[in-house]
Structures are given as C-alpha cells and as structure tokens.
Amino acid sequence: MSIAYTVALCTHNHADRLVRTLADLALLKSPRQPWEFLVIDNGCRDETCELLARHAWPSGWGVRVVREEKLGLSNARNRAIAEARGEYVIFMDDDETTDPDWLCAYERLINAHHPDAFGGRQVVLFEDTRPPWLRDELLGFLGELNRSDRIMPLTDPYTPFYGGNFGFRKAVCERVGNFDAMLGRKGADNTGGEEVDFYRRLLDAGFSVWWTPEATIHHRIQTAKLERGYFHDLHYRMGRMEAIRKRGMGSRLPPPYLFGQLTRAVGAVISLWRQSGRDATLRKEMNVAYFLGQIQGWAFGPRPEND
C-alpha cells in the first residue's frame, strides 16, 4: 500500500528537547491514510542517536531514522525530501508539541482542497516564566503564527507559513527545486528564511498554498535560555543575508542610506529607553542589529562567485 504522508522531523544536538517531543508525539492520532515518521539526524554529536535507538515508538508506527552529515537545516530538509516515501512531506521541529489532531487536520485539508502546499497555526509555549521584556509583538520571532482563524488559501508572498509547521506535495520540488542550502540554521547560526524562499517559489510557479488553523503545533520555549541577544543575532544575520543577495557582484561600498537608517534606529532606541525603560526597547534594538548586518554584509559578505 502506498504511503500518503511522510512526517519529517530534522534534529541537531537537541536530545534534551527531543525527549519531550517524542513523548508528546505518542498522543498523535493517526490519519486514515498510511503514513510514516521520518527522523533526519543532522550530524548529531550529543545523545540523540542513543535516544532514538532506545525510544519505544507507538504500536503500528512506521519509523525510519536517517543520518545526514552535511550540517544545516536546509540540507536536512532536502535529505528528508529525498528519503520520503509519502505523496506529501510534512515538517515539524524537534522542540515542538503537536496537538493530537494535528496530522488529521492536515488530512482533512488535503481531502477538501487538494492543496499543493499548506501551513498551520503555531503557538508559543513557555516552559517556565516569561521574561518581562518579551512583548507580544516579539512572539512571532519565536514561532508564534496565526494567519487566520479560518481555512483559506495563502496568496500573498509576505504571509508565508512557518518552518515549524508546514507541508507540501513532494512532486512540487520537481518544478521549484529544494530548499536553498545558503539559508536555514546551521548549528549555532540563526540564519533562517529557507521556508519563506520556498513558499515564494511555490507561489511564483502557480501552486496552490493553503492555511488551516486546525493543524496546531506548540513551539516550546526554554525561558532560561532565552536572551535578548538571540533577537539581536537573528536580525543581524537577516540583514547580512539580505544585503549579500541585494549587492550581488556590485560594489562593496554600502549605500549611504544604510548609515542614515542605522543612525535613526539608534536614536529611536535611546528615545524609547528614556521614555519607557529598557524592557520596552528590544524591538527597536533589533532594527539597529538589522542595519548593522546590512552594512557588514554589503561590505564584507561573500559574493555568489569568487571576487
């Protein structure tokens, strides 16, 4: 019997988080159509291999563990695509807890609308106390996402699904290609954007992309490891990557307007700090990091080809 869905989980040195993820997955309801669970071990050097080897999987699950030595989330996802036996490949992360109905909700969407790709709701779940400086406007940078409370198509290139909860028909990769290995996390490198790039290529190729709030995943946050520097680094790397792509083979001299934007961003941080205290300034600080990344990437980032 052919497999309809491959649920793929890519992991790198997160055995401490993976323990709960696997335990919570035991509550997942199986869809009507045959499916498999595929784990991509992306060069793990911690206890992940041992954890996966001794884990007691739910009865009746078809589980495979594949090792991908080439580091990088995009590389791991591309390996999952190559290994997947299902018509649809559905991705989740190693620090998430799925609603029991998560996979069945996607099956209902597929049966009703026959999408080429799809994404679902993500809810941030703090494992202990939420820090006072973490305002609601920042939750999206930790994976919070709810495009709509109703099932609907996604057609705007600026409203993508998120990488912790999405899927697509495997065959679409024959037209749009796989994930860009230049993008996506690589170990401690927070560079992302691979799912946004993939989503936009899907739209450009004319594929149908749908949203369902019923397929919900909870992104667990270890507050003790949550620092302001994470948000700074995320935006610095985002700015750097965007500048490298925009500059291409052009001059390494950053455009003057970037320095003006940086100056105004610093001024905004200082003004808000004086007015409301530092707990209110993180979003403005992220703008400073973004423009610093843009300037650094433009001046010193690698070219698509050797200089």
Rounded to whole angstroms, how far apart are CA atoms 5 and 61?
12
Q: Tokens in use for 42?
A: 């992306």
Contact between 48 and 13 under an 8 Å Cβ cutoff? The reply is yes
Q: What does the mean pLDDT of the chain come to?
A: 91
Handedness of CA 192, 198, 199, 204 (dihedral sign): positive
Place of tokens 């001299």: 253
Residue 229, pLDDT score: 86
Contact 226, 134 (CB under 8 A): yes
Above pLDDT 90, what percent of the chain?
75
DSSP state of 250: S
Query: What's the confidence (pLDDT) of residue 306?
Result: 44
Highest mean pLDDT among 24-33, 175-184, 192-201: 24-33
Angle at 195 between CA 210 and CA 87, to 5 degrees: 55
Q: Which of 15, 2, 74 is nearest to 49 (CA)?
A: 15
Distance set, CA 240 to CA 152, 187, 251, 263, 282 (Å): 34, 18, 15, 17, 19
Task: Quick: pLDDT tens for 217-262.
Answer: 999 987 766 888 888 988 898 899 889 988 988 999 999 999 999 9
Q: Angle of helix 256-276 relative to helix 282-300, nearest 10 degrees?
A: 160
pLDDT score of 1 more than 80: no
Q: What is the 3-state secondary structure (H, E, C) of 59-117?
A: CCCCEEEEECCCCCHHHHHHHHHHHCCEEEEEEECCCEEECCCHHHHHHHHHHHHCCCE
Model's pTM, two decimal places? Answer: 0.81
User: 120 vs 189, which has greater pLDDT?
Assistant: 120
**Are the C-beta atoms of residues 63 and 39 closer than 8 Å to each other?**
yes
More confident residue, 134 or 167: 167
- Assign 189 a pLDDT band (cuts: 50, 70, 90): low
pLDDT at 237: 87
Kindly report, residue by residue over 65-113, the tens digit of the pLDDT. 999 999 999 999 999 999 999 999 999 999 999 999 999 999 999 999 9
**Predicted pLDDT of residue 149:** 96
Name the nearest CA neighbour of 207 among 166, 249, 248. Answer: 166
Task: Answer yes or no: is pLDDT of 307 > 60.
Answer: no
pLDDT of the residue at 31: 96
Determine the average pLDDT of the residues in 157-178.
Answer: 95
- Residue 78 φ/ψ, nearest 5 degrees: -65, -35
Q: What is the pLDDT at residue 224?
A: 64
